[in-house]
Every structure is written in C-alpha cells, then in structure tokens.
A and B are shown apart, each in its own frame.
Chain A
Amino acid sequence: MTDDMDCIDLVEITTDYFEGALAPAEAARLEAHLTECDGCTEFVRQMRETQETLGRVDVAVVPAPGRERLLEAFRAWKADKS
C-alpha cells in the first residue's frame, strides 16, 4: 500500500468524512486509501448502510405505548378546534 493512512485510523473518521468535516487533504488521503483497501471499503459501506437503516426504523412492528390514550387525545383536540 502506498497511501499514508492506516485502516485503524480510517475507521475512526468515517463519520467526519460523511459529515464533510474532514480537511480536504485528509479527505483525499482517505479516498486514496479506499481505492487500495477492500477491508476499509467494506467498512465504509457498512457504516453508510447502518446510518441508512437507522433512518428507516419507523417501521411499525408493535403498537406504540399509550396508543389508546393518544387516540383519545387526538379526538379531544379535533373536537376542541372545530
């Protein structure tokens, strides 16, 4: 490997990279490392997928706590405003 970034350091800065918080030179080193390292490429992909998966956890799998009380509150709010 010819880049000057180590995997053990790269895995600590992927969020800074996604958030655009790395200095341009460091972002460039990270990208250069990714072109040569399958392990880090997979790691970055998994961190992105984790993030995206978290954005989809509003799948309703169980009834929300206090659902009935909330429905009553919504009906009361509706009656009140009309």
Chain B
Amino acid sequence: MPVRLGAGDERYSGSDESATLALLRAGDEATFMDLVDRYAPAMKKLARAYVRDDAMADDVVQEAWLGVLRGLEAFEGRSSLRSWIFTIVVNRAKTRGVREARSLPFSALAGDEAGRDDPAVPPDRFAGPGARWPRHWVDDPAPWGDRPEERLLSRELRARIDAAIDALPPVQRSVVILRDVAGQPTPDVCNALGLTETNARVLLHRARAKIRRALDPYMTGEVSA
C-alpha cells in the first residue's frame, strides 16, 4: 500500500478538489478507491459511536459510500468533498442507530462527557499551593522535536493515533473526527451532532488533549515510532 500524505496532496484541497470530483463523476476507479482507502477507517470510527458493533459500523460505511455515489452528480461543493462524505456517515449512522434501537441521545451523552472532571493535563504535573510557583508546571513538557512530516510516515504513530481515537468516549470521538480528521468548520460539527458550540469546544479540547498524551511518548522519543 503506498504511503501518502493527505495534507500535502493538492488534489484533495481547495480548487483542485474539482479535479477529483470530475474524475469520480467520470467513473475513475483509482480515484474512488483512493478516497475509500483514505477515509473509510475514520468513517468506521465515527460510525462506531452510533451502532452496537463493528459489523454494523462496516455496514454504515458501505451505505455511506453508496450515498456518496448517489449524491455525486448533485453535489455542489458548498462544503469540501471530505466534509460532505463525513456528514453522510453521520446521517447513515443515525438512521442505523435508530433502526437498531440504539439511538444514543447525543446531547445527553455530550452533557455527561462535558460535565466530567477531565483535565487536559494530569494535575500532578502542576505545583501545589506551597510551591514557589503554585499552579505552574513542575517540569515543562518534554519537547516533541522537529520534522513532524517524517514522523507522519510511521505506521506505529498512525496505529497509536487510531488507538487513541478508539479509546475516546463516543461524542469526543465524533467531534474530533468531524473537526480535525474531516476538517469540518465547528458550526457544521455542531449541526451534524446536535451540540452547542460550547460543548463542542470542550469535547474537542478533551479529545485533542488525550490524543496529545497518547502521542507524547513517541513524539519525545521516549518510545521509538
């Protein structure tokens, strides 16, 4: 499997997205399968927040791609292609979740996840009241070093990110996938998930903070990736 960098691939951003769309509409198989390989794993993680098991999440992903094909001619490009694909996943997953009698009340779950005490950094990393600089770092975070683009090529790191996303509570997982992986603007994420912007930002922050902590040992070189 070739290793590619999405963000560096101009076909998938900005005006060059129209080239991808044109190829898809013309029935170019390689373009379609490339999109599938890029997005299906994150789509499945998103679907998994709504349905009971992996098999159902796979079904949702399949249905979402069929929805993409059905909607392709009418797609007007008001959002990015990537963002549109992930919105279809949410809609299919919600329908499936209802049908499978596992309609998670996302707003209730969101309130629960946002209401928990869930610090971005363990409190013991900060000095206590008797210290010279209370509430400041005891030891600064170890630096992550340079050349992130080289680390991105590592399968180990990718697996680490996958595991960290899987370990998130469902609403945090959904928010971070839509906002950061699918690149949706925050108001779109709120619409898709039925969240207030305040809750969406709290949950996004917790999700990113947990993923940062999961990446930390690799980024600092404590564990080789």
Measuring CB to CB, which residues of chain A are less than 8 angstroms from any residue of chain B? 1, 6-9, 11-12, 14-16, 19, 21, 37-40, 42-43, 45-47, 49-67, 69-71, 73-75, 77-78, 81-82
Give A82 to B73 CA distance when docked, in angstroms.
13
* A39→B40 contact, CB < 8 A: no
Measuring CB to CB, which residues of chain B are less than 8 angstroms from any residue of chain A? 1-7, 12, 27, 29, 32-34, 36-42, 44, 58, 61-62, 65-66, 69-70, 73, 119-121, 123, 126, 133-137, 139-141, 143-144, 148, 152-153, 155, 158-159, 161-162, 176, 180-181, 183, 186, 197, 201, 204-205, 208-209, 211-212, 215-216, 219
**Which one of B3, B29, B120 lies within 8 Å of A59 (CB-CB)?**
B3
Known contacts A46-B144, A73-B65; A1/B136 CB under 8 A: yes
Give A37 to B127 CA distance when docked, in angstroms.
14
* A78→B201 contact, CB < 8 A: no
Q: A residues within 8 A CB of B66? A: 73
* B140→A38 contact, CB < 8 A: yes
In the complex, 20 of the A-B residue pairs with CB atoms within 8 angstroms, ordered by the A residue number, are A6-B136, A7-B136, A11-B121, A19-B201, A46-B144, A53-B148, A55-B180, A55-B181, A57-B158, A57-B161, A59-B5, A59-B38, A60-B4, A61-B3, A65-B58, A65-B61, A67-B33, A73-B66, A74-B32, A77-B27
